Structure formats: structure tokens, C-alpha cells
């Protein structure tokens, strides 16, 4: 016998930009949103009965309508509002998942001052949030970031690694360490100061990356996650992804030149991939 084991459907890549107009300055944000609903939709899959299906176009329209009246000051709060909206109005829905990402816009610096109504996209970094809400249960909230490209030119080594007949990589006590940082963390409560905590987590991650005497990417990744959990008790766990963006020392000996760790060849592919999740005991 064949049965429908699990299912979900929704709308992806709903793009939303919002201007908050204050006296003397404006705030601007740009989000990309995905909504997925789970519930009693078997009749649609099995028999083609759409009577319990909320059109995904309606989900898109809901994003813009709710954004008009929302007082949420961040992705997490807006995602909670969206999830609650779909659960409240659709008894056939058992759970809603809302995933959001935010582009990095900031006020343009003009003559040393931020221009009140002009913005620049400052980097490739995206802030992220994910809300999972089930009926009659408190939502769970994850936050994070991705594509935060960081590099340091000191305090990074790679020594004492396993070697076999195919190993050609030389040991080094002084190398460039670069990565495109991805992080996501789970809050122990759905009612915390999300914006302030996001800023604190980001500052901790960057501060540890800069100061840590790295023996490997793994070593630094663990130090970063450990410091976040130690410094932000509102977080239950954190998952970090740190691809090792290689910069290979250029061989200038054939030109009769030395290379005192100054000239490198950036290599995008292939790259190392290192990730781990850190949690709390007990």
C-alpha cells in the first residue's frame, strides 16, 4: 500500500523591501522570504482536491500586506508574525516554517557623515532567520548569517597534520587564513532581543577570528563557537561553516626572487570545507 508520508508546500524567494520614514532619516531593509506550510493536504496530492490548498500567490500577497502593518524591527519578529498569521487563518495547517535572509544595506557615508536617505549595499554578507511554528506550541527561532568573507594575515598556522604518500602540502607557521563564514544559532526562547543578540554574536565571532592563535580552521571555528555560547546564554547551540579559502604562496625562485610571505595566488576551487555544531551539555 502506498501512503503519503510527509509533505509541505509554499512560496519561495518572495522579495520585500521596506522603507521606514522617520523625521530626519529613513531606514531601509531588503528581505527574501520563503514560506512552507505543513498539514492535512493529502486530498490534494491523492485526489486532486484543492479545497484545503491556500494558493502560494496568496502567501506572496500576505507578505506584502502584513509588512504594511507590521511593527517588527527585524526578521525574527516578522517571521513569527507570518507564521502565526497562517496558523490562525488556516485550520488545515499544522505547522508553518518561515525562512528569511537580509541584504546588507547601510547609509552612504558622505563627507564623513551618513546620508539620511541614501544607501549602499555594503558587502556580500546576508543575515538570516528561520522560524518554525506548530499549532498550540511556542515557535522555535534560529538566526544566522552567511557569506561573511573574512581574512587575516597573521596568527594562523597549520602544522603536525597526517601525511601519507600523496601528501604534498608543506607545513607552515605563518599563512593567510580566509573564509566565507556561515553561522546559524538557535535561541532557547522565542522572546529575546533578537537585534541586540544578533549584533553581539557577530561581534564575538569576528573578535575571536581576529585574535585567535589559529592552529587550524577547526581550531579557530571551535574557539569562535565556544565564545558565542559562553557570552550569549540565550543561545542553545550554534552551527558554523568555514570553507578554507586558500591563498597559495607564489614560487618566485625561478625568477631569482625570494618571497617573504608576501605574494600569494588566490584559489577559489577546490577549497576545504569545515563545519561543526556546538551545544551545551545537560
Distances in Å between the alpha carbon of 135 and those of 91, 92, 139, 185? 9, 10, 9, 23
Contact 85, 64 (CB under 8 A): no
Residues in the chain: 282
3-state secondary structure 45-106: HHHCCCCCCCCHHHHHHHHHHHHHHCCCCCHHHHHHHHHHHHHHHCCCEEEEEEEEEEEEEE
CA distance 207 to 137: 36
Q: In the beta sheet, which residues pair with residue 106?
A: 120
Contact 137, 120 (CB under 8 A): no
Catalytic (active-site) positions: 11, 56, 246
Q: DSSP per residue over 144-178, as a string?
A: EEEEEEEEESSSB-B-S----TT--PPPBSS--EE
Q: Which of 11, 60, 8 is nearest to 39 (CA)?
A: 8
Strands 177-187 and 264-272: unpaired
Amino acid at each position: 500500500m502506498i501512503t503519503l508520508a510527509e509533505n509541505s508546500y509554499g512560496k519561495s524567494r518572495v522579495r520585500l523591501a521596506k522603507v521606514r520614514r522617520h523625521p530626519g532619516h529613513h531606514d531601509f531593509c531588503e528581505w527574501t522570504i520563503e514560506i512552507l506550510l505543513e498539514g492535512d493536504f493529502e486530498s490534494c496530492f491523492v485526489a486532486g482536491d484543492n479545497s484545503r490548498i491556500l494558493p502560494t500567490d496568496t502567501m506572496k500577497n500576505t507578505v506584502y500586506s502584513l509588512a504594511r502593518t507590521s511593527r517588527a524591527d527585524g526578521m525574527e519578529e516578522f517571521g513569527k508574525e507570518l507564521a502565526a498569521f497562517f496558523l490562525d487563518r488556516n485550520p488545515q495547517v499544522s505547522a508553518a516554517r518561515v525562512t528569511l535572509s537580509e541584504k546588507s544595506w547601510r547609509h552612504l557615508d558622505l563627507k564623513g557623515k551618513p546620508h539620511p536617505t541614501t544607501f549602499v549595499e555594503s558587502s556580500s554578507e546576508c543575515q538570516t532567520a528561520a522560524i518554525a511554528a506548530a499549532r498550540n506550541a511556542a515557535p522555535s527561532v534560529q538566526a544566522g548569517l552567511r557569506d561573511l568573507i573574512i581574512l587575516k594575515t597573521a596568527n594562523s598556522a597549520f602544522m603536525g597534520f597526517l601525511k601519507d604518500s600523496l601528501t604534498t602540502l608543506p607545513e607552515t607557521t605563518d599563512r593567510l587564513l580566509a573564509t566565507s563564514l556561515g553561522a546559524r544559532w538557535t535561541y532557547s526562547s522565542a522572546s529575546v532581543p533578537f537585534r541586540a543578540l544578533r549584533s553581539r554574536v557577530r561581534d564575538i565571532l569576528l573578535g575571536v577570528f581576529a585574535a585567535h592563535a589559529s592552529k587550524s580552521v577547526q581550531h579557530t571555528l571551535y574557539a569562535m563557537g565556544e565564545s558565542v555560547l559562553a557570552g550569549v546564554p540565550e543561545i542553545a547551540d550554534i552551527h558554523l561553516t568555514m570553507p578554507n579559502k586558500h591563498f597559495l604562496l607564489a614560487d618566485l625562485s625561478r625568477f631569482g626572487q625570494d618571497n617573504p610571505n608576501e605574494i600569494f595566488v588566490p584559489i577559489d576551487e577546490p577549497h576545504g570545507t569545515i563545519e561543526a555544531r556546538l551545544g551545551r551539555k545537560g
